[in-house]
Amino acid sequence: MQTLNLIPGHLTQDQLRQIRSEAVRVSLPEDVWQQVRESHESLKAVVQRGAPAYGINTGFGKLAKTQVDVADLSTLQHNLIRSHAAGVGEPLAPRIVRLAMILKLLSLARGYSGVRPQVIEHFISMLSENILPVIPEKGSVGASGDLAPLAHLSLPLIGEGEVVFKGDRLPAAQALQSAGLNPLTLEAKEGLALLNGTQISAALAIEGLFAAEQNLGSAIVIGAIAVDAALGSYVPFDARIHKARGQSGQVRVARLYRGLLDNSELNRSHADCDRVQDPYCLRCQPQILGACLDQLDHGVKILLREANAVSDNPLLCPDTGEVLSGGNFHAEPVAMVADNIALAIAETGSLSERRVAMLIDSSISELPPFLTRNAGLESGFMVAHVTAAALASENKSLAHPASVDSLPTSANQEDHVSMATFAARRLHTMNENTRQILAVEYLAASQGISLRRPLTSSTGVESALQHLRDHVPEYMNDRVFYPDIEKAALLIHQGRLAELLPMPLLDTVLD
């Protein structure tokens, strides 16, 4: 297990990718620990003064005006975590939980929350032992933070709740004991600092973003296969067209198509044809997928900021020790960017479905009907396209903005919420749907190339085709279709197509 040396406030995209892909240990610089200790001393001074300070010596939400005795401050924090652990549904995936834990400890380590170093150390120890809390996927409205899921994330720190440890789901107390760790007794504000935050929504959105990036990269490669399968023109990818418009994503995507399609015998074979313009699903790929890329580029900027953010409330001002009550827990930035990512995912799949429809329509593609040599006796890709259409339609419904919805909670104290957790969580389903649509197109476009033999395509397209043919043979007759879709989708999921691009699509760094 590799150790990541992380600096709170300076988490990078590469580090996020690594956390997503594997279990890691975490270490923090010594100066970070010093600022955590100083923040805790500021909190102790607030407690000693005795003046009402939200969440430190008062109740929560609508109960904020109820002051709590000093002797009960620890009980207050434990009660908060227990009562807020009210999530439902299937557990979040381990990679989401791991990322959320790291985002939470980095936020606490910024020195605005007043927690003791032991709280952060406990998270680091759990990560080192690969002890991951069981967090139900549903129950957060994204303000005041991801309360319910973060309560489930925090329960194991006090020896309660459940965890996954060495492949087993078991009581947290048992796992901690096996790993030689002792539960914490929380002190003033620590429970609130653990629960206030956007770390679950952010982790889900980051996962959705990277999966969308992989799908978009795969879509560009598969779209290039479709261009040659349909004997499409390369003129729409001419750099002069895209320079004239100046949209960054469009320019970049067109450049990728030019690289993928370079030196194709199939393209040269129809250089003098009478076709004037191709259907939009071929001709407008840089414009459509470029717009999707721009949305993902925007998403990585917002989510990098959120991954490095302090989303606790109240905050302890490091310079003055003041207690500042605000609303950094409100996950509207995450909700809105997740909505935009959803649009990009839906459009990526929608365009792919349209290319499948074009390929199986012999009047447009000039390929055999439904890509079969024995149309009528055989149905070929007829119902594989129906599957793609069903998934594309489902994604259109899922792409409805979540951030425009709001339901007041906590007796109208929390009267506007972001719905960021659902906005981000549905990205997984949408990415799965788009991956399956792309799998159908991968099969269809590759079959189209096979039907054009002996002519060959470009090096990039032939490489993508060979990846598929290593697992899925050409269609000579009808056969059971779903295993082929599964194999093609797995290749996409493994990144075998996206890796044919010269670099990851998202190369933005935190500004």
- Report d(CA 89, CA 413) in Å as an integer: 26
CA angle 318, 327, 321 (to 5 degrees): 20
One-letter amino acid of 353: E
Is 112 among the residues known to form the active site?
A: no
Cβ neighbours of residue 143 closer than 8 Å, sequence gap 6 or more:
327, 329, 330, 331, 332, 414, 416, 417, 418, 420
* Rounded distance between C-alpha atoms, residue 27 and residue 121, angstroms: 9
CA angle 51, 44, 118 (to 5 degrees): 140
- Classified as helix, coil or strand, 316 is strand
**Interatomic CA distance for residues 317 and 308, integer angstroms:** 17
Angle between helices 199-229 and 285-307 (to 10 degrees): 160
> Catalytic one among 54, 112, 280, 482?
54
Paired tokens of 11 = 């988490």
Rounded CA separation 67/49 (Å): 13
The Cα–Cα gap between 317 and 294 comes to 36
Instruction: With residue 90 as reference, give the H or E element that holds it.
Output: strand 88-91
Strands 24-27 and 88-91: unpaired
Long-range contacts of 495-499 (CB under 8 A, 24+ apart): 495/214, 496/467, 497/217, 497/218, 497/221, 497/222, 497/442, 497/464, 497/467, 498/213, 498/214, 498/217, 498/218, 498/221
DSSP strands (E only) in 101-226 = 132-133, 136-138, 162-165, 168-171
CA distance 216 to 349: 9
Q: What share of the chain is helix, strand, coil (3-state, %, to 5)?
A: 60, 5, 35
Q: Which of 190, 146, 77, 56 is nearest to 329 (CA)?
A: 146
Residue type, 453: R
Residue closest to 493 by CA, chosen among 87, 215, 299: 215
Tell me which residues are annotated as active site. 54
